[in-house]
Structure formats: structure tokens, C-alpha cells
Amino acid sequence: MSAQIINGKSIAQGIKKDLKTIIEKLPLKPGLAVVLVGDNPASQVYVRMKKKACQEVGIESFSYYLDNTTTESDLLSLLSKLNKNKNIHGILVQLPLPKHINASNIIKAILPEKDVDGFHPLSPHIPCTPAGIIKLIKSTKVNIASKKAVVLGRSNIVGRPVANLLIKENATVTICHSYTRELQKETLQADILVSAVGRPKIITENMVKQGAIVIDVGTNRVDDRLVGDVDFDNVKNRAAYLTPVPGGVGPMTITMLLKNTIDSAANQYDFKYK
């Protein structure tokens, strides 16, 4: 039997429709500052997609495109202005930053409540990609509690926070990384398998338990094509549910960014919509 493909694009569209309705009820237009340093082509694409999504739901986006020679202190002084600007409820600094800028210093300089990426240690927002992943898993209607989840990757942006969210949902969680021995032995245990490595076909059919939910976070360029971490064509014969790349986790990440920006704007005015 072939896996049911989890359509992240269509789930994201549904959420965006709801977000648009919420914005229409808000006493103010939410504002998102989008900061891009340098000319990384992938970052330029992501920023364009995020701005387009803002427009779709009615969030005003303010763009700050800075060149490669921008110093850390230039960027810090821009962030200080954005932190004080009442029309800006969310600040997004597109990563990766050029090597001469310390990303951790930059993230910590964003006011936690405006850190809509959820990267600041004190941010009240759930990081976007992990939040989107949980929504995709929940869309299957499979109960997460008591399931065995295996997460590949331990980054602060994806691996660790998604593992924490799965623990909150009462799954039993194992995190694997580049030092993990016998990866296949671990992945074969997974009722829920999340791969956030960034290596094409690291997950093959013989690593997946029959009937598992497989979430492919990886984004890799192969021959000018975007592919995930999962050997999709073969894994779909073993998994019960599988996310595609593109059209799986990616659209959910952007949608969760919009949601966090709206939450931030609503909180500023103590406006309750939930």
C-alpha cells in the first residue's frame, strides 16, 4: 500500500485563510520587518516567499536589504530601531548571516516578543518549522501520545525544538545526529520519523517502520531540483503518511511565521482572538 501524502501546501492555505479572517478583526495591521544581509540566492527566494505570504493575509512587510559589507554593529543599530517601532510586531533576520556577523548576538538583540522566528531563548513564540511539523503530524489524526518518535538532527532551529514539542505531546523521543551508531536500528523503531539533516536519500525504505509517519524537513538542491532527505519513491511503499519536498514542511514554516506575527500584534494590544 502506498503512503498517504501529507499536502503541506493545502494545509497551509487553509490556515492562511483563517489568519486573514483574524487580521480583518484586529484593531491594527500587523507589521513584519524582513532583514536580509548579503546576496545569498536561496535567502533571496525565501525572503520573497515570506513577503508574498504576508501580502496574501494582510500583514504589512517592511524590507531591509543590506549589502555584504554591513557590520555587526550596523545590524545591531537597525534592530534597536525596529525594536522600538510600534508598527513593527515581528522582526525576521534571514539566516544564514555573512561569516563576519555573529548570528547568536543578532538573535539575542531582537526583543523576545518580536522574535517571530522563535529563536531567542526568551521568545514566547514557538519556532516556525517545528510548529509546522507538529501541525502536519496532527493533520493525520494519529494520536502522538505514547508513540515512539525519532528525530534526525539536533540543531537549535529544527531538531531540538521539534523533539521538545513531541515530548510535550507525550511521545517517547530519540534524537539522532552525526555521532549516532546504528542509525537504521534507531529509525526502524519510529512510529513518527522526522528527518532534519540536509542530505538527499539519507532515509531509505529499509530504515522505515511499516506504517510510520515520515516528515521530511530536508531541503537539498540536486541537479537544480529541490529534494528532501527521504528517498520518497521507495519510502512511500512503507510509510503510512509522508510529506513531499517541496510542498510539505516548507509552506507550513512560512505560515507559522505569519501566525507568530499576528499573535505578537494581538498581544501588543491585549487583543484576544483565541
Q: Which residues are catalytic?
A: 50, 94, 117
Half-sphere exposure of residue 155, counting CA atoms within 13 Å on the CB side?
Answer: 14
E strand or H helix that includes residue 90: strand 90-93
Nearer to ligand NAP, 113 or 186 (CB): 186
Give min distance, CB of 45 to ligand NAP, in A: 12
Which C-beta is closer to ligand NAP: that of 61 or that of 129?
A: 129
For 109, the grid coordinates are 538583540
Give 189's strand partners: none
List the alpha helices (DSSP H) in the chain.
8-25, 41-57, 72-84, 103-109, 128-138, 159-168, 183-187, 232-235, 249-268
Handedness of CA 65, 71, 74, 76 (dihedral sign): positive
In whole angstroms, the minimum distance from the beta carbon of 99 to ligand NAP comes to 15
Residues 6+ apart with CB under 8 A from 77: none
User: Which of residues 26 and 95 has its CB atom nearest to ligand NAP in the complex?
Assistant: 95
Q: Report, in Å, the least distance between residue 175 CB and ligand NAP.
A: 8
| Contacts of 9 by beta carbon, 8 Å cutoff, 6+ apart | 247, 251
φ, ψ (nearest 5 deg) of residue 35: -110, 125
- Residue (38 or 198) nearer to ligand NAP, CB: 198
* Residues of this chain that bind ligand NAP (CB under 6 A): 129, 152-155, 157-159, 176-180, 183, 196-198, 217-220, 249-250, 253
Least separation, in Å, of the C-beta of 177 and ligand NAP? Answer: 4
